[in-house]
Structure formats: C-alpha cells, structure tokens
Structure 1
C-alpha cells in the first residue's frame, strides 16, 4: 500500500534520475525515464507532473545551490555583494556544459521555463535574490527607493538578458556585463567584477 510518503520518495527518486540525465547532457524523455524507474508514464506524471514541470524542478534543484554558493563566495557588501553574486551565478550558468546543451537543444522551451510565468523557476530566482537584497537593505549597506522585491525582479531580468543573450539577441553571454548593470541599478556605477 502506498501512502503520501511513499509517492514522495518515488517522486524524489524520479527527480534524482532526471537530474542525473540532465547533468549528462541528455534530453529528458518521459517514456525512457518511466521505463528506467519501472513504472508507466501515467504513474510518472502523477509523481512529478508533465515534462515541463519536471524540467523546471530539475533546473531549480541545480540553480538554487549554485545561487547560494555565489552569494556565499563574495566578501563585499551592498551593491557590490549583489553584483558579485550575479557575476558568479551567471558565469556558472554560462560555464555549465549540460545547461548550455539544454539551451541549444531546446531554446524556446528553455526560455519559456526559465523566464516566463509558466514556470516557478523565475519566481524562485526572484525570491532568492530578494532575500539578499533585503539583507543588504536591513544592514544599511544598500539604500534604494525601490522595494526589495521589485529590485530582485529587475536583477533577475537583467541577469537573464545577458546570460541568455545568445538565444535572445545572438550576442555572446556575458556575466560581467550583467554584474555591472546590476551594480549600476543599485547605485554603484564604478563597480568592477573581480577577476576582470
């Protein structure tokens, strides 16, 4: 007999296998995933939702620790701390071969899942950035007329416009430009990303 805890464990296993395949650069195929897990597609859908929902879950499971590590990696404060985190996070996305493979293989789906209201990924990123912005506001290291949530939304939009530039405008992705733009938004026009 399977209760809620049982299906949660199975859903976690399905997400884990999907994440492994994603990291290997494979296209996420629901039928193959169901077969590997020893279930039918209906059961898999009941556990993890449709393919887009599963992809969004996998994407955020990879982005969340990456963003957390980017925030932890900077020793600066205020606008520079937020810009540094933007730079490190953006560069990690640019440098991840599995992520770039996904963007090249399914560009329209990737942009929809990463940048629109159809996916929780954008909301999660905005929430994560908002926590950092609010910390800097609370500590007195940042003063800005806009609310933390609105700033976080703009920071997320600025970041994606430079990180996904190859898909949006055909330009090369550039985490440094994203960081400089974020710093300027936050009132630090002299910011320079570390290592540049």
Structure 2
C-alpha cells in the first residue's frame, strides 16, 4: 500500500487516492470482490447505499491518518447512533476488511503495472514482490498491525477472511495467465500454487507478527523464485 503522503513524483503516488475509484476492468485488482464478495462490498458497489459509502469513506480516511477505527467515534462524526452505523456497514471487522481491501486494490494495480513486459514465473514473482514491498513500507498499514496484531492476522490471513480469499483468487488468476491450469508438468494445479504463494507472501509480509522476524520483500522474492522454479536447482 503506497504512502498517500508520497510526493507526486514518487513511485506509487496517488494510489491511495485511486482507492476511491473502481479498479481497472480486466486487471488483477478487479478480481477480489467478484471472487469473494461480502455483504458490505455489495452494498458499496451497488450505488444504492450512499450512507454506507459515506461511513466507509470516513473510516478509510481515519485509517490512512493512522487512527483506530472506533465505531462509536465514527458514528458521532457522522451524526448518527451506533445502531444506525451497524445497519449501514455491519460490524467493525466487516468495515475494517473493506477498508483494508480498498487500499489493497490500487496497490495490486500498481504492482501489475510495474511488472508490465515480464512473463511467466518472473511476472508472477514480480507482482507479488511489489505488492509485499508496498505493504511492508506503508506507515498507516504497519501502524494498524502494531496496534491490533491479533485482529490484523485474523482479518488478513485466515481462510475465513474475505481479504485472504480475495488475495488467493487474485493470485490464481495471475498463475492461470502466466503458468496455466497445471503448472510444472502438472505437478500442482493453479489453485494450490496460488494458495502456497499467498502463504509465502503473508509469512514475509507479517513476519514481525508471526515469528518476531523482520518483514522482508527481498526474502519473499527469493522464496517466490524457489517455488516458481522447482527444477532450477536439479
């Protein structure tokens, strides 16, 4: 997730602002909510719930500013009670998940664009490495991880979370495009390879929360290369 305070000439500048817009049709960033929609994502995308959109945008602004999204405080800023807010956007986890994904969308878009011209395993690794690097460097995202580590891991990495399922679905589309349905002489299918790659990505992106280690996009890239070139050392 690029830093929204980056100057215009910096890589990724404007990506946070781009989160206000729908992803480019046909891009990797467009896969997520189609593959794993939620009640709230459907409300936000339908155009029929302006109150939900208003609450969501305010919550996202708070998140980017490094603030904890507090439902009571958010309701107060909106001039409504908590009951109305929950009716508009669901519970706090649901709102946080959509805020997090909305910021992942332009980050995925940027990662895909940065890998233009690459093909095959190299493109897969390049997209995933760029995405991991931006997550590791985004100050507001790291602030969230430090502030709520248990909730962050649950919302970002468990099989039940929309974010994790959207990320796996996105990587599956990338794998299918570059390596086909059964990569490496049918040694593995695209679904399983996508799951493995996402787990590698998560392991190095959230290393500080998982193992107390330092997050590293470079180490993630090395691991991606091993997974994506299984015959290279033989």
The alignment status of 1:55 with 2:102, answered yes or no, reads no
Contact 1:56 1:121 in 2 (8 A): yes
Deviation of 1:52 after TM superposition, in Å, equals: 0.8
Q: Deviations over 1:119-176 (max 9, x none)?
A: 2000011111111111112499976521112111111100000010011111110011
Per-residue Cα deviation, 1:34-68 (whole angstroms, up to 9, x for no partner): 11111111111111111111101101111122112
1:188 CA drift (Å): 6.2
Pair 1:129-2:171 in alignment: yes
Structure 1: which 5+ residue stretches go unaligned?
191-196
Decide whether the 8 Å contact of 1:130 with 1:152 is kept in 2: yes
Count of aligned positions: 187
Against the structure 1 CA distance between its residues 143 and 77, is the aligned structure 2 distance closer, same or farther, given a 3 Å change threshold? Answer: farther
Q: 1:27 to 1:149 in 2, by over 3 A?
A: same
More helix by share: 1
Contact 1:78/1:142 (<8 A) preserved: no
Question: 1:56, 1:113 within 8 Å by CA — same for their partners in 2?
Answer: yes
Offset from partner CA, 1:83-140 (integer Å, 9 cap, x none): 1111110010011000000000100110011001342000011111111111112499
1:26-175 aligned at under 5 Å gives the runs 26-74=67-115, 75-138=117-180, 145-175=187-217
| Cα RMSD after superposing both structures | 2.2
Residues 208 and 215 in structure 2, CA contact (< 8 A), matched pair in contact too: yes
What is the alpha-carbon distance in structure 2 between the residues aligned to residue 112 and residue 141 of structure 1?
Answer: 30
Contact 1:80–1:188 under 8 Å retained in 2? no
5+ residue gaps, structure 2, are: 1-42
Equivalent pair of 1:164/1:173 in contact (CA under 8 Å): yes
